[in-house]
Amino acid sequence: MSIKNSDVKSLSLSDAGVLRIEWASREMPVLQIIRQRFAKEKPLKGVRIAACLHVTSETANLMLALKDGGAVVVLCASNPLSTQDEVAAALVKEYGIPTFAIKGESNEVYYRHIKSALSHRPQITMDDGADLVSLLHREHQGWLGDILGGTEETTTGVIRLRSLAKAKKLGYPIIAVNDAHTKYLFDNRYGTGQSTIDGITRATNVLWAGKKVVVCGYGWCGKGIAMRARGLGAQVIVTEVDPVRALEAVMDGLQVLPLVKASRVGDIFITATGNTSVIDEPHFRALKSGAILANSGHFNVEINIPALQALSTGRRHVRPFVEEFTLSDGRLVFLLGEGRLVNLAAAEGHPASVMDMSFANQALSVEYVKTHRGLASRVYPVPEAIDREVGRLKLRSMGLSIDRLTGEQRKYLSSWEQGT
Ligand code: ADE
């Protein structure tokens, strides 16, 4: 349904969305502290923000914090399959935030939604995967000068932005929220770990114990997925292209194999590499019948679906978010969530408690961009003071306290004279 500058599935879903947003807020104490301060101080008064993020109950809480801070916010989806339609409806109907997002939208509608968000002429952009920033740079060069800065949520987006900056084409400063310690060590590892297992379980109801689970990529997301699959009793095999990460996997007690060998034995395959055609024709040819393929990376390119289709004689939906491919020799392969990020397609994404830290970093980074004029057109890290403050507030919200350095210890750490 489309009303006044919005495009969501149905406004009648709004009440359910409000309940979801409130439920998530209970697990987002750090963001709530920031929201309360923003409501008092209005640090973002009148600033136009376009956010291209997964439209979830956690993102809704971030949008409300920015709005309370005085910002004029519009939101569009950062993936065609990650939107929670109830939440999108509530954002529009209950909270008056223009939102462009429908779960299952086509690529065409997805880009139309990003264009709608951009048509609000943002002064600050917030992105998850850099599609909004990419479109802005490709189609609206003339608008770049009005933009104060932006933030980027995810590894893939930061990689794209660094490449834009390297080509000297990045038009304004952007803060790499992904790279804050209080983001990637928790969101990428524990968030992706839990929500990926959750998505595959909800889609298939598979028993993990005793399964051979092949995790492609041993970055922070892959580490989290492997850890949680192992915790459920799976035998985890890791595939890597980076020797150091492969060594880490071995010394974490996991088996490491080239993917073509792992393809012959694996029951469940999960990609988390950020790269393209990771599971490809030679691997499809080697799979056991019944193999399950899922992706947890940002884009739906990690599993080469056109190649899988080309090897298949049949393709049908057998459950929500599960497609069965029949290969010409009769083997069956199951693809989850159209090869899009399975944790958001088939489940609810990362739990609110971990998004609390990611989105606290987002909110404080937006405030930083607003108050620090004159930054160069570069990709910046989240200032350490923000990162540490988020960690401090999270610990406090969990009722935990930690020790402090004594004066003697601080002095010792800054000296070079003292040895044994
Ligand atoms: N990315 C992963 N999980 C998410 C969530 N729950 N909300 C927004 N973005 C996410």
Q: What are phi and psi of 125, to 5 degrees?
A: -110, 145
For ligand 1, is residue 350 a contact (CB within 6 Å)?
yes
So what's the pLDDT on residue 5?
A: 86
Q: Identify the band that residue 206 occupies on the pLDDT scale cut at 50, 70 and 90.
A: very high
First to last CA, the chain: 72
pLDDT at 3 over 50: no
Burial 371-406 (b: 16+ CB within 10 A, else e): eeeeeebebbebbeebbebbbebbeebeeeeeeeee
105 and 214 within one domain: no
Residue at 308: amino acid letter: L
Q: Which CA distances in Å does 233 have to 108, 209, 289?
A: 41, 4, 22
For ligand 1, is residue 156 a contact (CB within 6 Å)?
no
222 and 152 within one domain: no
Q: What are phi and psi of 85, to 5 degrees?
A: -60, -35
198 and 176 within one domain: no
Q: What is the pTM of this model?
A: 0.96
291 and 196 within one domain: yes
Residue 185 carries which DSSP code?
A: I
Asked if residue 387 lies in contact with residue 361, where contact means CB atoms within 8 angstroms, the answer is: yes
So what's the pLDDT on residue 59?
A: 98
Domain range enclosing 379: 11-183+351-397
85 alpha carbon to ligand 1 midpoint, in Å?
14
**Which residue, chain included where needed, has tokens 């609206």?**
140
Q: What are phi and psi of 77, to 5 degrees?
A: -75, 150
Tokens of 140: 């609206």
165 and 20 within one domain: yes
Residues 299-352: pLDDT tens digits?
999 999 999 999 999 999 999 999 999 999 999 999 999 999 999 999 999 999
Tokens of 286: 């080697």
Asked if the structure places residue 414 within a domain, the reply is no
Q: What is the CATH classification number for the domain harbouring 317?
A: 3.40.50.720
54 alpha carbon to ligand 1 midpoint, in Å?
6
306 and 198 within one domain: yes
Cα–Cα distance for residue pair 355/222, rounded to 1 Å: 18
Cα–Cα distance for residue pair 66/33, rounded to 1 Å: 12
So what's the pLDDT on residue 4?
A: 53
Average pLDDT for 151-178: 97
Helix (H) or strand (E) holding 235: strand 235-239
Cα–Cα distance for residue pair 71/125, rounded to 1 Å: 12
Q: Identify the band that residue 144 occupies on the pLDDT scale cut at 50, 70 and 90.
A: very high
Best of 20, 54, 79 for a ligand 1 pocket test (most atoms within 8 Å of beta carbon): 54
For ligand 1, is residue 198 a contact (CB within 6 Å)?
no
295 and 195 within one domain: yes
So what's the pLDDT on residue 168?
A: 97
89 and 196 within one domain: no
Residue 279 carries which DSSP code?
A: B
Residue 177 carries which DSSP code?
A: G
140 and 51 within one domain: yes
pLDDT at 1 over 70: no
Average pLDDT for 170-184: 98
Average pLDDT for 38-46: 98
Tokens of 186: 């928790």
For ligand 1, is residue 356 a contact (CB within 6 Å)?
no
pLDDT at 2 over 50: no
Instruction: Report the alpha-carbon angle 235-350-213, nearest 5.
Output: 15
Residue of minimum CA distance from atom 9 in ligand 1:
54
For ligand 1, is residue 211 a contact (CB within 6 Å)?
no
Mean pLDDT score of the chain: 97
Domain boundary (326, 345, 364) is at 345
Cα 102 from chain centroid? 18
Average pLDDT for 112-118: 97
Tokens of 405: 């350095």
398 alpha carbon to ligand 1 midpoint, in Å?
21
Asked if the structure places residue 392 within a domain, the reply is yes
360 and 319 within one domain: no
Asked if the structure places residue 65 within a domain, the reply is yes
Asked if the structure places residue 313 within a domain, the reply is yes
Q: What is the CATH classification number for the domain harbouring 73?
A: 3.40.50.1480
370 and 324 within one domain: no
Cα–Cα distance for residue pair 38/168, rounded to 1 Å: 34
Residue 288 carries which DSSP code?
A: P
Asked if the structure places residue 311 within a domain, the reply is yes
277 alpha carbon to ligand 1 midpoint, in Å?
24
Residues 351-380: pLDDT tens digits?
999 999 999 999 999 999 999 998 999 999
- Quote the percentage of the chain above a pLDDT of 90: 97
Residue at 397: amino acid letter: S
pLDDT at 11 over 80: yes
Asked if the structure places residue 84 within a domain, the reply is yes
Nearest to 338 by CA among 105, 109, 114: 105
**Which residue, chain included where needed, has tokens 């264009």?**
115
pLDDT at 9 over 50: yes
Cα–Cα distance for residue pair 360/57, rounded to 1 Å: 15
139 alpha carbon to ligand 1 midpoint, in Å?
27
Torsion angle in degrees (nearest 10) through CA of 37, 39, 43, 49? 120
For ligand 1, is residue 78 a contact (CB within 6 Å)?
no
- Quote the percentage of the chain above a pLDDT of 70: 99
414 alpha carbon to ligand 1 midpoint, in Å?
40
Nearest to 10 by CA among 120, 77, 103, 72: 103
Best of 58, 64, 75, 81 for a ligand 1 pocket test (most atoms within 8 Å of beta carbon): 58
Cα–Cα distance for residue pair 411/16, rounded to 1 Å: 55
So what's the pLDDT on residue 154?
A: 96
So what's the pLDDT on residue 419?
A: 84
So what's the pLDDT on residue 323?
A: 98
149 alpha carbon to ligand 1 midpoint, in Å?
22
Q: Identify the band that residue 233 occupies on the pLDDT scale cut at 50, 70 and 90.
A: very high
Total domain count, the chain: 2
**Ligand 1 atom with the shortest distance to the CA of 348:** 6
Asked if the structure places residue 413 within a domain, the reply is no
Asked if the structure places residue 199 within a domain, the reply is yes
- List of E strands, 78-132: 99-100, 124-127
205 and 336 within one domain: yes
* Strands of the 48-53 sheet, one edge to the other: 99-100, 72-77, 48-53, 124-127, 149-152, 174-176, 379-381
Q: Which CA distances in Å does 2 have to 7, 9, 115, 258, 339?
A: 4, 8, 15, 49, 28
